[in-house]
Every structure is written in structure tokens, then in C-alpha cells.
Amino acid sequence: MRTIMALMLLLTAVFPRVAVAQDTGIYQQAGSALYDSVAAAVKAEHAADGAQSPQGPVAVSTDPVQAAKDVKALESKGAKYLYAIGPSAANLATQSATVSGVYIYVPNPGASGLSAKARWAGVSPYPDPRLVLQHIRASMRIQSIAILYTKKYNQEVAQVFDAAAAEEKMPCRLLGLKGPEDLQATLGPALKSVDALLVLLDPIAFNPDSIRFVVNTCLQEKKPAIGFMDSVASVGVPFAIYPSADEIAKTAVAAMRGLKQAKPEDRKVRYPQKFVLSINENAVKSLGAHYDAQKVVKRY
């Protein structure tokens, strides 16, 4: 027995253990603190789930040729699965014929065709729509909503929220616009028949002039606007409801686990089950709006 143990020690010294390649990597859209925080949270959560820390994150290059090479480089280092964070990372990663994985923070995967990718699951930047509606009814005393979006970009997401409203028996109006030029004629009249406005992650929400008009119109009508990204509260939207980076990471790691176990039901878009709030204090005070202070993580 001693001879065998001595031989094993000798072999270990002569032939060091070869590190097992990590089969998972992180491919991340660059230039955003939000994506940075999600990537860091995914890396930590994946490792905490009992696996090796994933490769990366590798930032998406502005050069399309280099971007494609970066995906290939991850593959050559053993990555068979990718967490693709942000729309550009998702669109590039899903072009690979051999890699599968989880795309994260793509506001509308239906419009881009990502939701039809058989070897990919998704994690939405939106919290579970039914939980959102249950929350605003219970804490904000909202009984009816309108949903503002651009038809070209967000028809599918609007339909998801509309279906959730039907399940919750909450009256819902869809305000689908061709573009910002339709705002003035549409928004004011629609607000008169609802309690609040949901503003989807949409070109309207990221256009300074459009979002200013939305905020001012809602304040005039004394109806709260609710967005789905922390930054909208900083520009005057009374409420932002969104999952934390840690909650997105937990959802993504669970999706990756299911994907690796070849569970077909996990090849879908998942919605985080927990969320937090950011508020614009001046707007909230102006409206006299109710909200759950325990959910608030940022005040502007």
C-alpha cells in the first residue's frame, strides 16, 4: 500500500493535474454600468451554484469581425454555453452554430427572433408581469392601466402584459404608437380612463423629449407613470419597478442549469420573481401617490 501511495505522489509531482476547462462563459455588451453589474452578479451566482467561475466577461467589440472572433475564442477555450448579456451580445452569440446558453436583458426577444432560438433560454429585464400588476394594485391602489409602447419594437411585450392584466382581471388599454409623433394625440385622452400608465422599455422611454412629454402629461392628469428601469425615475417618472442585478443573476443561473439538463420547458423567457423600486420624490409628492416604501432602493 505504501508503495502504491508513493507512486501516486510521484506521478502527481511529475504530471501536474490539468485544469478542467470551464464550459461556460460570459459575453457582455459593453459601455453600460447596468450590464457590468449583471455580469458580475452572474459570475458570482454561477460559482456559488457549485460550478467553476465562468470565463469572462468578454465585452462585445465595436468591430463586427473582432466580435465574432471573440465568441470563437471563448469556444476554443472550452465554452459550450454562454450568458449573453444585452441585445448586441445576444444577437452575436446566438449566431454560433455550436454554442447555446441564456440571453439576458433583451427587452423584446420576440421582435429580434431570439425567442425562437431552440438552444437558448432568456431572462427578461421585466419582473413577472402578473406580480407587477398584483403589486401596484395592492400598494399603489391602481385598478386599471394603459401600456405605452412603439408597435414596431414592443408589440409582443405589450401583449404579454395585456394577457397578465386579463388574468388579474385588471382593465388594460394598449397605447401602441407608430412613433413619438403619435404621443400628443394619444396619451392625454387615454389617461382619463385609467389609473396609471406603464411605460415599456422602448424608444419612447429613452427619448428625452418624449419621456418629458409623458411625465408632464401624467402629472397634469394626476396619473402615475411606471417604468421598468432605474434610470427613468431619475428623469422624472414617478416609479421604476425592476429586478436587481442579483435577482437577474439567480434567474439566469437557474435557466442555465435547466438548459444543461436538456429540459425543453426551460428553453423560454423567464421573468424574475422579485423586484425593487426607484422613485422620483418630487413626482410622487406632486401626485400624492401611494407606494411600498420597503421596496424602494433609490430615491431621486
Q: How many residues does the chain have?
A: 300
Q: Which residue has the cell 435577482?
A: 247
Same domain assignment for residues 201 and 222: yes
Residue 56 lies in domain: 24-124+245-270
* Confidence bin at 10 (pLDDT 50/70/90): very low
pLDDT at 52: 80
Question: Cβ(79)–Cβ(27) under 8 Å?
Answer: no
Same domain assignment for residues 51 and 167: no
* Confidence bin at 17 (pLDDT 50/70/90): very low
| 265 pLDDT higher than 80 | no
Question: Is residue 10 in a domain?
Answer: no
* Confidence bin at 110 (pLDDT 50/70/90): confident
Same domain assignment for residues 255 and 114: yes
Indicate the number of domains in the chain: 2
Question: Is residue 4 in a domain?
Answer: no
| 15 pLDDT higher than 70 | no
Question: Is residue 9 in a domain?
Answer: no
Same domain assignment for residues 250 and 280: no
At 107, which CATH number? 3.40.50.2300
* Confidence bin at 16 (pLDDT 50/70/90): very low
Same domain assignment for residues 119 and 255: yes
Same domain assignment for residues 70 and 211: no
Same domain assignment for residues 163 and 234: yes
Same domain assignment for residues 207 and 164: yes
Average pLDDT over residues 86-111: 93
Contacts 24+ apart (CB under 8 A), 164-171: 164/129, 164/130, 164/132, 164/133, 165/133, 167/130, 168/130, 168/133, 168/134, 168/137, 170/133, 170/137, 170/143, 170/144, 170/145, 171/143, 171/144, 171/145
Residues 61-78: pLDDT tens digits? 999 899 989 999 999 999
Same domain assignment for residues 98 and 228: no
Same domain assignment for residues 232 and 215: yes
* Distance of alpha carbon 196 from alpha carbon 37, whole angstroms: 30
Closest CA to 200 of 247, 237, 169, 167: 237
Grid cell of 274 as nine digits: 422579485
Question: Is residue 3 in a domain?
Answer: no
pLDDT at 14: 46
pLDDT at 261: 85
Grid cell of 224 as nine digits: 402615475
Residues 204-245: pLDDT tens digits? 999 999 999 999 999 999 999 999 999 999 999 999 999 999
Same domain assignment for residues 144 and 258: no
Question: Is residue 41 in a domain?
Answer: yes
Same domain assignment for residues 251 and 239: no
Residues 115-168: pLDDT tens digits? 888 889 999 999 999 999 999 999 999 999 999 999 999 999 999 999 999 999
pLDDT at 180: 87
Q: Which residue has the cell 413626482?
A: 283
* Confidence bin at 57 (pLDDT 50/70/90): very high
* Distance of alpha carbon 174 from alpha carbon 171, whole angstroms: 10
Question: Is residue 137 in a domain?
Answer: yes
Percent share of the chain, pLDDT over 90: 80
* Confidence bin at 264 (pLDDT 50/70/90): low
Question: Is residue 6 in a domain?
Answer: no
pLDDT at 266: 54
The per-residue b/e assignment along 219-240, b for 16 or more CB within 10 angstroms, e otherwise, is bebebbbbbbbbbbbeebbbbb
Question: Is residue 103 in a domain?
Answer: yes
